[in-house]
Amino acid sequence: MTDTLRTLIVDDEPLAVERLQILAARIPALAVVGAANDGAQALRLVEALAPDLLLLDMTMPEADGLAVARRLLSGPLTGPSRPAVIFVTAHDHFAVEAFDCDAVDYVLKPVAQDRLERAVERALARRGMPAPTETPAPAPSENTSESEWIEEFWVPHRSELVRLAAGDIDRIDAERDYVRLHVGSRSYLMLHTIQGLEDRLDPTRFIRLHRSTIVRRDRITGLRHDGLGVWSAELADGNALRIGRTYLPRAKAMAGR
């Protein structure tokens, strides 16, 4: 297995392609084998050139970047045979969908040299991982699925995207069309609906207590009755969160009531 990734650049803007070619030429681990200016052409070149990596734009004619990545994910190629995908885009609000397509990384334009190098390092690390057949793993339970619940978030922060493990998130608050993810003393804003996230979070780890708030279960230290049917959840950080009437039965069920 070589340490050089045969790379296909996919972008409908000639200047963007040229920019990526220059950046890639400075990375010894990359060998650019071609460029495509739309999704349909990209899929044809993947079949003809068998690249190891795609530097893939998100918005393009014919088929966009997500369509290309989904086609690769559902195609006949698997494991090391399927090219890895690094999305390179000016849009930060497709990150969740991108990583659902098994993307290695999500790099925002304008692309900085060091940011692309870190993305390539991730691609190399993934390519060097042992195949599942080489490392025996316990058989999965009938009631579990590795892809059933979201395990990580990629959120915009300054000029890049930050990876947040779902298990590190203390609380999620809705803010109009966005959600705010609270991790310790820091918080990150992401374009997503709170209902959409609730459907994808493991209910054994997270619970929705209000139409605007989801809380990690182990951050709840107690429930308090405030009178007139009003209940609050006491959190580990000392704050109290009012529980919405719609969500009170599940909160009580959590406490065995």
State the Cα–Cα distance between residues 15 and 249, nearest whole angstrom.
56
Please give the tally of structural domains in the chain. 2
pLDDT in tens, 19-40: 999 999 999 999 999 999 999 9
Whichever domain contains 244, its CATH number is 2.40.50.1020
Query: What is the torsion angle, in degrees rounded to the nearest 10, for the CA atoms of residue 24, residue 30, residue 31 and residue 33?
Result: -70
User: Has residue 151 been placed in a domain?
Assistant: no
pLDDT in tens, the chain (257 residues): 457 899 999 999 998 999 999 999 999 999 999 999 999 999 999 999 999 999 999 988 878 899 999 999 887 766 667 899 999 988 877 787 888 888 899 988 888 889 899 999 989 988 773 333 333 333 443 443 444 788 888 777 765 678 888 899 999 999 877 888 999 988 888 878 888 888 889 999 999 999 999 999 999 999 999 888 899 999 998 889 999 999 999 999 988 87
User: Has residue 65 been placed in a domain?
Assistant: yes
Q: C-alpha angle with apex 196: 139 to 193, nearest 5 degrees? A: 145
User: Has residue 103 been placed in a domain?
Assistant: yes
Which of 71, 96, 127 finishes a domain? 127
Whichever domain contains 122, its CATH number is 3.40.50.2300
- 122 and 213 share one domain: no
User: Has residue 158 been placed in a domain?
Assistant: no
User: Has residue 139 been placed in a domain?
Assistant: no
User: Has residue 161 been placed in a domain?
Assistant: no
**Which amino acid, one-letter code, is at 41?**
Q
* β strands within the chain, DSSP E: 5-10, 30-36, 53-56, 84-89, 105-108, 152-157, 160-165, 171-175, 178-183, 186-191, 206-210, 213-216, 220-227, 230-235, 240-243
pLDDT in tens, 198-243: 888 999 999 999 999 999 999 999 999 988 889 999 999 888 999 9
User: Has residue 212 been placed in a domain?
Assistant: yes
- 26 and 118 share one domain: yes
Strands 30-36 and 84-89: unpaired
pTM beyond cutoff 0.85:
no
User: Has residue 248 been placed in a domain?
Assistant: yes
| DSSP states along 79-116 | GGGSPEEEEEES-STTHHHHHHTT-SEEEESSPPHHHH
- 94 and 11 share one domain: yes
Which of 107, 127, 147 finishes a domain? 127
Which of 110, 127, 144 finishes a domain? 127
Quote the domain boundaries for residue 58: 5-127
